[in-house]
Amino acid sequence: MSKMREEGGYITVEASLLFPIAFLILLLFLEYAVYFMNCGIVQGAMEDAGWKAADIVITNGSYENGEMSYGALNQRNLYKNMYPGKKQAAAKVKKQLQKELNTHLFLGKIQSISVKVSADQIKTKVKMKITIPGMEGIRFFGIRFFEYQGQCQISYLSEIEKARRWSVIEGTMD
């Protein structure tokens, strides 16, 4: 027994070195799981808002409830302004994304939201990051962990409309 008491204390030293490393690895694994969950939330919110905006632009309906006016739809000018509600839909998409992501992200912050519309599609980009204490020193050297930049492009035109457009362009080129 006296020999065992003389050599004691090694487990305490080993445990004091191993437990913090094990807790750090566990913490990073949990942060990684939260990061992937937030990436899915961001991508899903972008796609939902983008498809909703594309439907509203095509039907010239209400963004809040989806109701459309056939009178307004039939009065569109096909030559000058085929989709008149593009700019308003883009502003509403940005507002909806900001609201949804602020309520649904877990430990994440939105850095920027960008919504751009063109003649045939709506593009959304969202940058998100998870802040971890102590990681700001690593970012100083240009190393970035747990940052996500998602994008989504949704076209107003169906595949049939795209084929018609190309056939018209090819016909004028001949």
Least confident of 38-42, 66-70, 113-117, 142-146: 66-70
Quick one: average pLDDT of 145-167? 74
pLDDT at 87 over 70: yes
Q: pTM of this prediction?
A: 0.72
- What percentage of residues in the chain have a pLDDT greater than 90? 23
Write down the pLDDT at residue 154.
Answer: 87
Antiparallel, parallel or unpaired: β 147-155 and 121-130: antiparallel
Write down the pLDDT at residue 38.
Answer: 92
Write down the pLDDT at residue 115.
Answer: 92
Write down the pLDDT at residue 27.
Answer: 85
| Domain residue ranges in the chain | 2-173
Q: Environment class of residue 157 by beta-carbon count within 10 Å: exposed (0-12), middle (13-18) or buried (19+)?
A: middle
Quick one: average pLDDT of 83-96? 83
Q: Which of 170, 162, 50, 69 is nearest to 117 (CA)?
A: 50
Instruction: Supply the DSSP string of the chain, one letter for each residue.
Output: -HHHHHTTTHHHHHHHHHHHHHHHHHHHHHHHHHHHHHHHHHHHHHHHHHHHHHHHHHHTB-TTT--B-HHHHHT-BTTTBS-TTHHHHHHHHHHHHHHHHHHH-SSEEEEEEEEEE-SSEEEEEEEEEE--TT-HHHHTTT---SEEEEEEEEESS-HHHHHHHHHHHHHHH-
Write down the pLDDT at residue 95.
Answer: 92
CA distances from residue 174 to 161, 164, 168 in whole angstroms, order as listed: 20, 16, 10
Write down the pLDDT at residue 67.
Answer: 72
Write down the pLDDT at residue 17.
Answer: 84
pLDDT per residue over 5-64, tens digit each?
556 667 777 788 888 889 888 988 888 898 899 999 999 999 988 888 887 777 777 777
pLDDT tier at 144, thresholds 50, 70, 90: confident
Q: Which of 108, 148, 123, 157 is nearest to 49 (CA)?
A: 123
Higher pLDDT residue, 141 or 170? 141
